A and B are shown apart, each in its own frame.
Chain A
């Protein structure tokens, strides 16, 4: 009798699973399916075809998928290849403390794949994927101007502090902060527009707001040292990299991770105390629409190397901490690689070597923690058409796995008390 054996059945969402199907006939063709219904009731699914070995088993560590949402040996492929039933939906966990995503794994005997008649279900199993470990605390933050949620690891601490920023969708996205807290970082998921009583739009970015947030974080009894890290992630080319601005201006920032960011002021003004960086012209007439009607912004975003854009460049050579750039080369919303390379070049010209660039061929814009499904396009509340983020499924998944490990390594390395005191 067929069985799915999964281990562990309950885990953090960035923990890989061992999945085996047993009790099949030798060389039997099966379809493995993973399904998840998100908090809005949207269905996400992946379907893959395997052939059992001579023992009637399929072990995802060794078996190569023949077809479906991916091919080849990919033990966690069922997770990162899930696609929404309703196109353009993005998988995004809202409640990161009280509930996991339930993923249903099922095995079907395939007689007529993709026809409208249902196939025969042979076995199924459910796993829990959590965005926080037991003991992680979530504290709603509303102090001064600062709005967000602070995630504390279990225990007394003190812990290194991190500020987590998401991009152009506004609001408060918490899942990465809760995961970082689960790995021992006191993380502040910080909102900066379209949340609570914060401005609805982003016209002026006042770095002093972020400085206020950094100071609040540093004052917390469970956060050590005098330097938190900023983790910046931009999902819209119409915003600038606040993380880079923080790294440039704030002494409190010891280490910055910039994922697919833009380092110029776009249509917004960045200000810090009495310094201002004005926007430069975008070229929206260079927007491209792909064969499925999705909007690619990358050619519309100004090129940092153009003369006209020089006054929009941030003086990144003033950054005292370390910077890690993570770039997806198939990012269709921003030409992230050009921007990261421009900053690296600017630092080099000023004799600085405090930055590292990790460039991932085939990865798109939305590089998230491992096993997150690739979201190749989605609706952005501020843009009338669906936005193409880009990415090729398998390289994107590999980039997520690799970059997450590098991010945790980078944070641990640069936020230890000894490395901080060197600043």
Chain B
């Protein structure tokens, strides 16, 4: 009798699981599939073809997939290779507290390219992937101008405080904040436009808004007083870098696939206004899939005319971790991070670290998140290209998530003296 054994069946979304099938015929070719329906009712699927060993077993931590959505030994491959049945949909958990993603794992005793109502799996297992750990609290934030959601781990604390910023699609994205909080950090998922009563579009970045959020976080009774961290991606990372430079509250900043200069929207802090490098949309390229590639529309921060827009990263007091996907098709993250590192070096600073991942795209997320190669964007008529090679991107997500937590624990430790 064919059995599909999965442990654990319920886990945090960033935890690996063990998947095994037994009771097959020796050397039989089988198909493993994973299926997930998101909160909007959209189906995501993955499949891989394996050959059972002489005992009629397949253990995904030892067996190599022969084909399908990935090849080789990848115990979590079925998760990070999930694809939307309708292309260009992004998998994004909205409700991070009350429900998990339910993923159905199936095994078929034949090669199955597509689901068929006539063909039933030999064994199935439903598993739960949660974005919040037990005891995690979610507190909606509407303090002064600040809008977002605050995630507090169980226990007394105090916990290191972190602000989580996403990018140019706006709104409030919470899944990374809730996962990080499940690892012992007090995390504020901070919205800055296109959310509630915040401005509909980003016309300028006012660092005093982010300072208000930082102070609010620092003054929470269960948050450490010695300085906060920032984790940020894309446009959020541009803001994160500006926060690292101008806000003394920030002790550690993670910039994922961001820029080292102000682009498109001016950045201001009190009396200071940094004018942006304008986008040049005529350099937009169209990928074979029809998706838009914006990688070349940002002007070069090294041009003479753009110097006043370059962020003075050498002024940052805390530590900065740059995380870069070399196949980022949204922006040339590698060049920007290298320029920032070069700028630190030329000013005799050594508070920057660069982790550069070949093959990784723009949307570097917590481990086992499916690669989103391109997706629909609310502001554009065509899908938007993020880039990335599936396997390298998955490996980058696993590695960088560990590094992110290590970095935050190291630089937000309470024993560190106040900046």
Residues in chain A within 8 A of chain B (CB atoms): 29, 47, 49, 51, 66-69, 71, 81, 83, 87, 110, 112-116, 283-289, 291-293, 295, 299-300, 374, 376, 383-385, 391-393
Contacts and interface: CB of A to CB of B under 8 A. Distances in A.
B263 interface: no
Given A68-B285, A374-B288, 12 more contacts: A49-B284, A69-B285, A110-B281, A285-B29, A286-B49, A287-B49, A287-B113, A288-B67, A292-B83, A295-B113, A385-B113, A392-B288
B173 interface: no
A393 B68 contact: no
Interface residues of B, number: 39
Contact of B114 (A110, A384, A393): A384
B282 A114 contact: no
Contact of A285 (B51, B292, B374): B51
Contact of B67 (A49, A286, A391, A393): A286
B127 to A, nearest CB: 22
Interface stretch (B158-166, B222-230, B376-384): B376-384
Given A47-B286, A385-B113, A287 B68 contact: yes
B51 A87 contact: no
Contacts of B289: 87, 292, 376
Given A284-B111, A385-B113, A116 B381 contact: yes
Contact of A71 (B87, B113, B285): B285
B8 interface: no
B87 A292 contact: yes
A291 B68 contact: no
B283 interface: yes
A91 B282 CA distance: 27
B231 to A, nearest CB: 25
A283 B85 CA distance: 25
B114 A114 contact: no
A313 to B, nearest CB: 24
Q: Which 5 pairs between the two chains have the least Cβ-Cβ distance?
A: A285-B49, A384-B114, A49-B282, A291-B373, A286-B67
A contacts with B: majority SS: loop
Contacts of A29: 282
B68 A289 contact: yes
A140 to B, nearest CB: 37
Nearest to A393: B288
A116 B378 CA distance: 10
A154 to B, nearest CB: 38
A289 B381 contact: no
B329 to A, nearest CB: 12
B38 to A, nearest CB: 16
Nearest to B296: A67
A291 B67 contact: no
Given A87-B290, A114-B381, A116-B381, A289 B284 contact: no
B66 A51 contact: no
Nearest to B112: A384
Nearest to B69: A289
A130 to B, nearest CB: 27
A285 B66 contact: yes
A66 B296 CA distance: 10
B362 to A, nearest CB: 13
Interface in B152-210: none
A101 to B, nearest CB: 20
Interface in B64-113: 66-69, 71, 81, 83-85, 87, 111, 113
B83 A289 contact: yes
Given A49-B284, A292-B289, A300-B67, A285 B111 contact: yes
B61 to A, nearest CB: 20
B390 interface: yes
B282 A291 contact: no
Contact of B284 (A68, A384, A392): A68
A224 B349 CA distance: 82
A287 B112 CA distance: 11
A240 B125 CA distance: 41
20 contacts: A47-B286, A51-B282, A66-B282, A67-B281, A67-B284, A67-B296, A68-B286, A83-B288, A113-B281, A114-B381, A114-B382, A283-B67, A285-B111, A286-B67, A289-B68, A289-B69, A292-B289, A293-B83, A391-B288, A392-B288
A303 B389 CA distance: 26
Nearest to A291: B373
Contacts of B290: 83, 87
A16 B198 CA distance: 53
B90 to A, nearest CB: 13
Interface string B109-136: 0010110000000000000000000000
Contacts of B286: 47, 68-69, 81, 83
B371 interface: yes
Contact of A385 (B51, B114, B283): B114
B380 to A, nearest CB: 5
B388 interface: yes
A29 B66 CA distance: 50
B47 interface: yes
Contacts of B381: 114-116
Contacts of A114: 281, 284, 292, 380-382
A115 B380 contact: yes
A376 B288 contact: yes
Interface in B278-318: 281-286, 288-290, 292, 296-297
Contacts of A383: 113
A288 B113 CA distance: 10
Nearest to A46: B286
Nearest to B84: A293
A195 B41 CA distance: 40
Contacts of A292: 83, 87, 289, 373-374
Contacts of B114: 384-385
Interface string B356-390: 00000000000000010110000111100000111
